Structure 1
Amino acid sequence: MSQLTFIQNMGGGSILLFGLLYLIFWVYCLVDILRSNFKDPNMKLIWILIILFAQLIGPIIYLVIGKNHKSDTF
């Protein structure tokens, strides 16, 4: 219990909250890629690799650029 108090006193509570929010954001982007149809079938694999290897900026790049590569048909 004293370790948790130490983490909170050091500002670790905000770090844990940021990490949890980032994890949710990352999983959302990964699920969105897996469920989507793309104009080029290879783009799904490329976006998954970008999300996996560009951990910090990959999901942001996907939301900015990747949405334009999706197919309009379902």
Structure 2
Amino acid sequence: MAVEIELIRPPVISRETRISLDEYRGFRHVVRNIYTFRLSPARIKPLLDNLVEIWECTKRELERFLLFLEARKNEKQ
């Protein structure tokens, strides 16, 4: 989603957002595949501290992509 597909679409999210979201994806993998009693509070805290900022950035980028899709739809009509 962070890669442009030439002549098709721009990136949906930025490279920076992809990297940030990758940290949450990694955490999800740990939670799903390892017993939760092995979770480290020290590793969870930075994820919690950055959650609102990363969500806002992701939301903005998704909204921007939605505008692209709407413009594309209008071009075809």
TM-score category by the smaller chain?
0.3 to 0.5
